[in-house]
């Protein structure tokens, strides 16, 4: 059985006047707010899914804990790990998917935030071999959305395959028979990739059911990506 980490009280420091401060409070707060937002948006159900944020200065990562319901979660419940996934702090052990989050952060210095969910439509569209394609202009920022073959959750193997599928500038991948993994330069960007990937999957699903599936033309996607990169998209 894994040993629980009980360093939280010793990591807290007392300010003059006896007010306690929590170590890594800023990144813990952003991760907690993001996971609650994902639950509210229906992107995460039960204890599935996990979210991580890197603190540049300390080279540590705040990540949601394993198997704990997100509603009612406290800041001290958010785990702190190093970039190799070693558990440093927090009341509960980190998510079992910590290798996936930290592997992407090690491979991609531009990535500060990572979000993994089992969004229903992303999970449905993860089956099959076609990449998810942009159907509307805002979705263009997040393509290509490549597929990752099924490998055991929580393994270094799935972590390596997600890193490979994301490549040097990918924002989102679908993991077969599992869900999606998204990333960004900050939490807002990683959450945006998650929301738009689920939207892309939902719109593609219904259009395919109706027999009207017609993604944006390649030139349109390229032009839109250029506008977004130049920060000129409306």
Active site residues: 97
| Rounded-to-integer distance, Cα 117 and Cα 121, Å | 11
Pair 108, 58: CB distance under 8 Å: no
Pair 117, 189: CB distance under 8 Å: no
The β-bridge relationship of strands 113-117 and 179-184 is antiparallel
Q: How far is CA 84 from CA 61, 106, 114, 178, 232, in A?
A: 10, 8, 15, 23, 37
Nearest to 114 by CA among 221, 25, 224, 27: 27
| Rounded-to-integer distance, Cα 217 and Cα 214, Å | 8
Strand order in the sheet with 179-184: 87-89, 79-82, 60-63, 50-55, 113-117, 179-184, 172-175, 146-148
For residue 33, give both structure tokens. 């707010």
Pair 173, 162: CB distance under 8 Å: yes
């Amino acid at each position: 059985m894994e040993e629980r980490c009980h360093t939280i009280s010793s990591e807290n420091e007392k300010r003059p006047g006896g007010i306690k401060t929590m170590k890594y409070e800023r990144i813990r707060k952003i991760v907690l707010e993001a996971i609650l937002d994902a639950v509210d948006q229906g992107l995460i159900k039960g204890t599935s899914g996990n979210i991580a944020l890197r603190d540049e200065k300390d080279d540590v990562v705040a990540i949601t804990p394993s198997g704990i319901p997100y509603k009612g979660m406290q800041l001290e419940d958010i785990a702190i790990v190093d970039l190799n996934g070693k558990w440093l702090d927090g009341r509960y052990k980190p998510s079992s998917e910590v290798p996936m989050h930290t592997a992407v952060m090690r491979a991609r210095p531009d990535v500060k935030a990572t979000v993994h969910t089992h969004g229903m439509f992303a999970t449905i569209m993860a089956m099959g071999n076609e990449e998810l394609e942009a159907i509307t202009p805002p979705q263009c920022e997040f393509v290509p959305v490549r597929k990752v073959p099924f490998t055991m959750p929580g393994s270094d193997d799935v972590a390596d395959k997600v890193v490979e599928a994301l490549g040097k500038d990918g924002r989102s991948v679908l993991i077969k028979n599992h869900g999606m993994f998204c990333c960004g330069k900050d939490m807002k960007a990683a959450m945006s990739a998650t929301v738009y990937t689920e939207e892309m999957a939902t719109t593609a699903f219904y259009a395919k059911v109706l027999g009207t599936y017609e993604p944006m033309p390649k030139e349109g996607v390229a032009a839109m990506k250029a506008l977004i990169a130049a920060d000129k998209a409306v």
